[in-house]
Amino acid sequence: MKKEIYSYDDIPFIPDFGTIFNYDYYYKPPPDWYIIITDIINSTTAILEGRYKDVNTAGSLVAMAISNVKKDMNFPFIFGGDGMTFLIPGDILDDVNDVLVDTRKLVEELFDLKLRLGVVPVSTIYRKGFKLFVAKLKVSDRYTQAIISGKGIDLAEKLIKNDDLYNPFRLRLDITPQNKADFTGFTCRWKDIPSTRGETISFIIKIRDEYDRKTSLVFNKILKSIDDIFGHESDYHPLTESNQSSSVSQAYREARIFSKKKDGLLYLINKFRVSMETLLVKLIVSLRLPIKIMNKKMKNVKTDNIINSDFRKFDGSLKMVISCTGSQRREFEKFLGKLYRNGEINYGLHVSDRALLTCLIHRGTGEEVHFVDSADGGYALASRKLKEQIVSG
């Protein structure tokens, strides 16, 4: 029986990503916590229209809003491309529901995208006999990455994706929030990031059995194959100092979010502000000026993006974004295909030639995370392939 924790702070850190599948570091969330799941409805349509960066933006906004409710980023959240998964304590549920609903409204108004919102009590997961675990990895002094595992997450997704008009796990469309969402700290100023090796891939790998010590051996075998095929982490990391470039052309997304309008005077003022800040940071980086903004040495901003990126994670499925050659990718697909035919895994993989970067920086604490996905569909299309594979058996 896994130990139950009462606070996210109670969980000891996993030493490094190589031990992420060590079952001893996983704990049961309390039954009075809640699973929050958000995703963009019909995101494939937006992807086909070339709007996947808008999908990434809309999918990640809730994390910034919840962190401003909680006043830090010390809570479990996982980015999935077109949506996110959270675990939150019950004492902030009402405030979180408000910002969820307000974010849904703004996402539709500003980006013409519909955000599905689901809230599932952890007690419901346990009552139905499903398992749920949480762990955490200290990626850096500024970013703690959550690990959420167990078939309970699959159940929560199934419950919230039921389109029944009276689905009790979906936040209704007629709710009027008492408080507005605060997106302070959200930033999205980076051009698409070209692969240094030709391809950038997003993949999702899911073990067919319930996660336990036995299935963790399969994941460890996969991690070994990644090192054998792609090399050291620095070889396959999608971000480098040289391939990151900010641009004022990206300013419109932030301008929309902070003016809460698609046009007009306030929108133009915010767009000008973001553009000037972008140019200032480019100057600071190029001249290596010792200037701090939001407790950050801005000359190191590209290094910070790399160190605090979430290019790999585990939420019951292994998710990674990797820069690689075409031959390396084909070798890896061959390896995954063998595991699939052996009945050990299901997987989905999407191939692009560049990555996307969406950034959250908590101004009060200095905590930050930089969500990484591959372009043209990334995790969203990899997830679609995974689900098709599961259905086909």
Residue 251 is assigned to a structural domain of this protein: no
Residue 262 is assigned to a structural domain of this protein: no
Residue 257 is assigned to a structural domain of this protein: no
- Total domains, the chain: 1
pLDDT at 213 over 80: no
**What mean pLDDT, rounded, does the chain reach?**
93
Residue with tokens 């950038």: 200
pLDDT at 371 over 80: yes
pLDDT at 359 over 70: yes
Domain carrying residue 329 = 8-242+303-392
Which residues are CB-neighbours of 324 under 8 A, at least 6 positions away? 195, 197, 198, 199, 200, 201, 230, 236, 332
* Residue 194 near residue 365 (C-beta atoms within 8 A): no
- Alpha carbons 182 and 67: distance in angstroms, whole number: 9
pLDDT in tens, 163-194: 888 899 999 888 888 889 999 999 989 999 99
For residue 283, CA distances in Å to 194, 266, 274 come to 22, 26, 14
Residue 273 is assigned to a structural domain of this protein: no
Which of 111-120, 252-261, 384-393 shows the lowest per-residue confidence on average (mean pLDDT)?
384-393
Give the pLDDT score at 216: 80
pLDDT in tens, 232-241: 999 999 999 9
Q: Which of the pair, 373 or 392, is modelled with greater confidence?
A: 373
pLDDT at 17 over 60: yes
Give the pLDDT score at 212: 62
Residue 283 is assigned to a structural domain of this protein: no
Give the pLDDT score at 23: 82
pLDDT in tens, 39-72: 999 998 999 899 999 999 999 999 999 999 999 9
- Alpha carbons 317 and 345: distance in angstroms, whole number: 10
- Alpha carbons 134 and 5: distance in angstroms, whole number: 9
**DSSP-derived 3-state class of residue 145:** strand
Section 231-256 average pLDDT? 95
- Say what percent of the chain tops pLDDT 70: 98
Give the pLDDT score at 200: 98
Which residues are CB-neighbours of 138 under 8 A, at least 6 positions away? 13, 14, 144, 145
Residue 248 is assigned to a structural domain of this protein: no
pLDDT at 204 over 70: yes
Read off the pLDDT band of 2 (50, 70, 90). low
- Say what percent of the chain tops pLDDT 90: 83
pLDDT in tens, 285-338: 999 999 988 778 899 999 999 999 999 999 889 999 999 999 999 999 999 999
Residue 378 is assigned to a structural domain of this protein: yes
Read off the pLDDT band of 1 (50, 70, 90). very low
Residue 17 is assigned to a structural domain of this protein: yes
